[in-house]
Structures are given as structure tokens and as C-alpha cells.
Amino acid sequence: MLGSFKRLFTRHGAEHDFTEVVEWARRSGHAFKRVRGEDGFVIDGALEGMPWRLEWGPPQRDYIGGHELRLRMELALPHEMQMLVLSRTLMEVLERATYEQFTDSMQTQIGTAQTPEEMRWLVMFPKVDLAALKSHRVRFGAVASVPAAGLAWIEGPLAEALVRAADRLLRYDPPFVLMTLRSRAYLRMLMDTPDPAEISAALGVFETAVTQALAAATGFDGPGGQWHSTSSTAWQSLHSEELQDPDKPE
């Protein structure tokens, strides 16, 4: 479906040596392990005592044409709190692909089994107005089930983290996705070479996104309700569920 776009983002690398990543994980207090039968690894860590999982290896999305870095964390977010920020270039690619799939004479609807949420949401949800975040309009786009919640998530610390990432981690404009889905937070991006500095930078963006999502969740009343801004914390509502086995699909 997205094969024609895949080459836009493809980079080719050599065999990978994980020595520096292993050492970075050890220094950071994280657990590292190789993935059996694949050129990849898993790192388990924690934020404020709650577990997250980082995976690096073959991509799980067609729009990532090389090795993929994935981060996810279980949160106690409302299930209806669905928010997405992604690189502008990727947003335009997915919008075109979604439109072509939807308008195909053989299709009557967007296939939910084959179409990832980040594509469906571009059709289902309104865009988040980033007019006040001028530096973001060129590099990023966003949609959310409740746009006010999406804006509350992005503005402030996460916006600052994205600005820094745009000049460093995302300077070559790789496919990049940050989202909340089914009470989890996710980050996906193309990273053909697992460089410890870039892994650390991606983790920093992700942890900022988690913290801001939890703060934004305290004002969420659901898609049909009102948005109430609040400064209270939601950390105490986190729950710890067993993270998915990296050898199994998500």
C-alpha cells in the first residue's frame, strides 16, 4: 500500500555493533537484550518508577524504509484520549496514501486491518491548530480526538523538546510519530544506525511526551465533553501492566 513511498525514507547501513548501546544502557541503569534471530535489541527502563520499553530492529510500519526505533509505555490515560503528532513530510505522505486508498475503485472504506491508526486518524480526527507554535507548522502536524487536549499536550515542554529535536535528532527529517493510543504512549521513527546519543535524545522526547500527556489527561472529559485545563498531576493514576513480548507483534 505504501510501497511506492517507502523509498522516500530508505537509508542503507552496514552490520551493526551494539557495544556502545550496551554500555549506554548499563550506565543509564537500563536492561539490554538482543532479539533472537534479528538484527535488533530491546531496552527496558523506567520513568518515575513506571516501566517503558524501547525496541530497535526491522520496521513494523511500511512508511519506515529502514530500521525502526520504537518506544512505548503503559499509562492510565482515558481510552478516548487519542492524540498524534508526526513529521510534516510523513503526514503529507500518509494523507496522499490514505486518499488514494479511499478513492480506489475497488475500495469502499479504509481497511482497518491493514491501515495503521496514524493513517486512519488523519481522516477521522480534526487537526490541532499549531498557529501559536510557529516553528512547528513547517516541521510537524498534529490531530487529536479532542483538539484542545492535543494542544495542551504539545504546547509548553513538549513543544520545546520537539523544537530541539527538529534541529538535532530529526535534522534529516526521518519519519517520526508520537501518539497516545489505548492508554499507551508510543514513539516511532526511522533510525538505521542505533547511535546512543540519538537513542538518548529520542527517549528524552518520549519521556517529555509521557509527562505532558499525563498532565493533559487531568482535564479530559471525553470526545463529547468539555476540556478543562488543570495543573494537577496524574502520576498516581498510572498502572503497571506487563509489557508485550518483543518477539511478538504489537
Name the more confident of 157 and 233: 157
User: Given this model, what pLDDT does residue 11 score?
Assistant: 43
Q: Report if residue 25 sits inside a domain.
A: no
pLDDT tens profile 158-191? 999 999 999 999 999 999 999 999 999 999 999 9
- pTM recorded for the entire structure: 0.82
> Is residue 202 a part of any domain in this protein?
yes
Report yes or no on 153 lying in a domain: yes
Asked if the structure places residue 207 within a domain, the reply is yes
Q: How long, in residues, is the chain? A: 250
Task: State the cell numbers at 41.
Answer: 535489541
Task: Identify whether the C-beta of residue 63 lies closer than 8 Å to the C-beta of residue 93.
Answer: yes
Predicted confidence band at 101 (pLDDT cuts at 50, 70, 90)? Answer: confident
**Which residues lie below 8 Å from residue 242, measured CB to CB, with a gap of 6+?**
none
pLDDT at 194: 96
Give the DSSP H/E element, type plus range, for residue 179. strand 176-181
Closest C-alpha among 129, 153, 132, 148 to residue 205: 153
For residues 90 and 64, give the distance between their C-alpha atoms in angstroms, rounded to a whole number: 10
Asked if the structure places residue 27 within a domain, the reply is no
Distance CA 226, CA 223 (A): 8
Could you tell me the residue range of the domain that residue 213 belongs to? 75-220
Q: Decide if 143 contacts 84 (C-beta within 8 A).
A: yes
35 lies in some domain: no
CA 125 centroid distance within chain = 17
Say yes or no to pLDDT of 13 above 90: no
Q: Which residue has the higher pLDDT, 116 or 137?
A: 116
CB-neighbour burial class of residue 199 (10 A; exposed 0-12, middle 13-18, buried 19+): buried
What is the pLDDT at residue 2? 53
Q: Are strands 184-190 and 68-74 parallel, antiparallel or unpaired?
A: antiparallel
What does each C-alpha distance from 123 to 63, 109, 147 come to in angstroms?
Answer: 17, 11, 14
Residue 142 lies in a domain: yes
Q: Is residue 93 a part of any domain in this protein? A: yes
How many structural domains does the chain have? 1
User: Is the predicted pLDDT of residue 5 greater than 70, yes or no?
Assistant: no
Top mean pLDDT of 93-102, 135-144, 148-157 is at 148-157
On average, the pLDDT of the chain sits at 82
Task: Provide the percentage of residues in the chain whose pLDDT is more than 90.
Answer: 64
